[in-house]
C-alpha cells in the first residue's frame, strides 16, 4: 500500500529561528507512519530541513537553465545535490507574481525530470474563471501544456487560486470533480496514473474531508505546515492509500 502524499510548502513564510523550532518539535515527537511526508523549505534552508526525521525534501521552484551565469537561480542538479526528491513548479504565486507561462513551467518540469526529481506541477483557476464556468477548460490547458515534454508521470497539485491562504477551501465534491477531470485529461499522456494533490486552506480539521476520496492522492499544505505540531496532527489524521 502506498500512503497518501502530504507536501508542506513553507513558501517564504518562515525564518531560521522558526525552522529550528520546527526541527526540535518535529524530531522530538513520534514519527508519522500513515502518510508520506515531504517538506519544501526555502532553498537556503534545505540543509536545515535535511535533519527532519522521516521526511523527503522538495524544491519550491527551479531554474529553466541547467547551469551557468544565472544570478539568483537554483538548478535542478543543485536541488538534487541537497537531497531533494521533488520540485514544485507552476505555483500560482509564480504564475501570477512572476508571469510564468505553461510553456516555461513545462521547461522547468523537464529540468527536474532530467535530474531524476519528480515535478509537482501546480494548476488552479481564479474565482472569476470558476464563476464564469471556464475552470475545467482552463485546468485542462494548464495540465496539458505544463506537462508537455515529460516522459514519466509527474504529480499534479490542484490549488484553486481563491482557496490559497484565504481560509476558504474548495468543497470536497468540487475537488473530486476536478481531480477526475485532471486524471482523465492526462490519461493518454502517461503509462502510469497521475497522482493529484489538493491544496488551498487545508488544515488538521478539514484535511480528511479531502483525503477520504480515492481521487485525492494527497495534499499540498501552506500555512498549516509551518508549525510542527499542527502539521504532525494533520499528517497523522490522514490515512488510506494514495
Ligand atoms: P495555504 O495552505 O496556506 O492555503 O497554501 C496553499 C498553498 O499555496 C500550498 O502550495
Instruction: Express each pLDDT in 25-41 by its tens digit.
Output: 999 999 999 999 999 99
**Residue 22, C-alpha cell as written in the block:** 520546527
- Given the DSSP bridges, would you call strands 118-123 and 55-59 parallel, antiparallel or unpaired? unpaired
Angle between the N-to-C axes of helices 172-185 and 135-146, in degrees from 0 to 180, rounded to the nearest 10: 40
CA-to-CA dists, residue 8 to 192, 206, 219, 220, 232, angstroms: 24, 16, 8, 6, 11
- Angle of helix 16-28 versus helix 228-237 axis, rounded to 10: 50
Ligand 1 centroid distance, CA of 127 (Å): 16
Does ligand 1 come within 6 angstroms of the Cβ of 178? no
CB of 9 closer than 6 A to ligand 1? Answer: yes
Q: Is the CB of 57 within 6 Å of ligand 1?
A: no
Instruction: Give alpha helix (H) positions in 160-239.
Output: 172-185, 207-211, 228-237
Closest atom of ligand 1 relative to the 163 alpha carbon: 4
**Ligand 1, from 6, 96, 125, 200: best to mutate by most atoms within 8 Å of Cβ?**
200
What is the three-class DSSP state of 159?
coil
In a domain, 48, yes or no: yes
Task: Measure 220 CA to ligand 1 centroid, in angstroms.
Answer: 7
**Torsional sign, CA 200, 235, 25, 80:** negative
Instruction: Using alpha carbons, list the distances in angstroms from residue 184 to 141, 148, 161.
Output: 13, 16, 22
Ligand 1 close to Cβ of residue 223 (< 6 A): yes
Quote the domain boundaries for residue 166: 4-237
Q: Which atom of ligand 1 is nearest to the CA of 200?
A: 4
* pLDDT single digits (tens) 68-127: 999 999 999 999 999 999 999 999 999 999 999 999 999 999 999 999 999 999 999 999
Atom of ligand 1 nearest to the CA of 165: 4
Q: How many domains does the chain have?
A: 1
pTM higher than 0.75: yes
Whether 42 shows a pLDDT value over 90: the answer reads yes
3-state secondary structure of 39: strand
**Who's near 61: CB < 8 A, 6+ residues apart?**
74, 87, 88, 89, 91, 94, 108
Do β-strands 118-123 and 155-158 pair in parallel, antiparallel, or remain unpaired?
parallel
Q: Is the per-residue pLDDT at 194 higher than 90?
A: yes
* Grid cell for residue 115: 535530474
| Whole-number pLDDT of residue 56 | 98
CA angle in degrees (0–180, nearest 5) for 83-91-105: 80
**DSSP track, 78-98:** HHHHTTEEEEEE--HHHHHHS
Residue 242 maps to a domain: no
Check pLDDT > 90 for residue 24: yes
How far apart are the CA of 69 and the centre of ligand 1, in A?
Answer: 32
Q: What is the CA radius of gyration of the chain?
A: 17
Q: What percent of the chain has pLDDT over 70?
A: 100
Q: Does some domain include residue 19?
A: yes
Tell me how many degrees the CA angle 114-120-124 measures, rounded to the nearest 5: 135
Q: Output DSSP code: residue 3.
A: B
Active site (catalytic) residues: 91, 159
Where do we find the cell 509551518?
Answer: 226
Does residue 105 sit within a domain?
A: yes
> Measured from the CB, is residue 220 less than 6 Å from ligand 1?
yes
Q: Residue 125 and residue 128: Cα distance in Å, rounded?
A: 8
Q: Is residue 200 in contact with ligand 1, taking CB distance under 6 Å?
A: yes
> What is the CATH number for 18?
3.20.20.70
Amino acid at each position: 500500500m502506498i500512503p497518501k502524499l502530504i507536501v508542506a510548502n513553507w513558501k517564504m513564510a518562515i525564518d531560521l529561528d522558526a525552522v529550528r523550532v520546527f526541527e526540535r518539535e518535529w524530531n522530538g515527537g513520534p514519527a508519522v507512519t500513515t502518510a508520506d511526508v515531504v517538506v519544501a523549505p526555502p532553498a537556503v534552508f534545505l540543509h536545515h530541513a535535511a535533519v527532519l526525521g522521516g521526511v523527503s525534501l522538495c524544491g519550491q521552484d527551479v531554474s529553466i537553465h541547467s547551469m551557468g551565469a544565472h544570478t539568483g537561480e537554483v538548478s535542478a542538479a543543485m536541488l538534487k545535490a541537497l537531497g531533494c526528491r521533488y520540485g514544485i513548479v507552476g505555483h500560482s504565486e509564480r504564475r501570477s507574481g512572476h508571469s510564468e507561462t505553461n510553456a516555461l513551467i513545462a521547461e522547468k518540469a523537464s529540468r527536474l525530470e532530467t535530474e531524476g526529481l519528480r515535478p509537482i506541477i501546480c494548476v488552479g483557476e481564479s474565482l472569476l474563471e470558476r464563476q464564469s464556468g471556464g475552470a475545467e477548460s482552463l485546468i485542462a490547458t494548464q495540465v496539458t501544456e505544463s506537462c508537455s515534454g515529460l516522459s514519466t508521470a509527474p504529480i499534479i497539485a490542484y490549488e484553486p487560486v481563491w482557496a490559497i491562504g484565504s481560509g476558504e477551501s474548495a468543497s470536497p465534491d468540487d475537488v473530486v470533480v476536478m481531480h477526475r477531470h485532471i486524471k482523465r485529461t492526462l490519461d493518454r499522456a502517461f503509462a502510469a496514473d497521475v497522482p493529484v494533490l489538493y491544496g488551498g486552506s487545508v488544515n488538521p480539521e478539514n484535511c480528511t474531508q479531502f483525503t477520504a476520496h480515492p481521487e485525492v492522492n494527497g495534499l499540498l499544505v501552506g500555512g498549516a505546515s509551518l508549525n510542527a505540531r499542527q502539521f504532525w496532527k494533520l499528517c497523522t489524521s490522514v490515512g488510506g492509500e494514495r
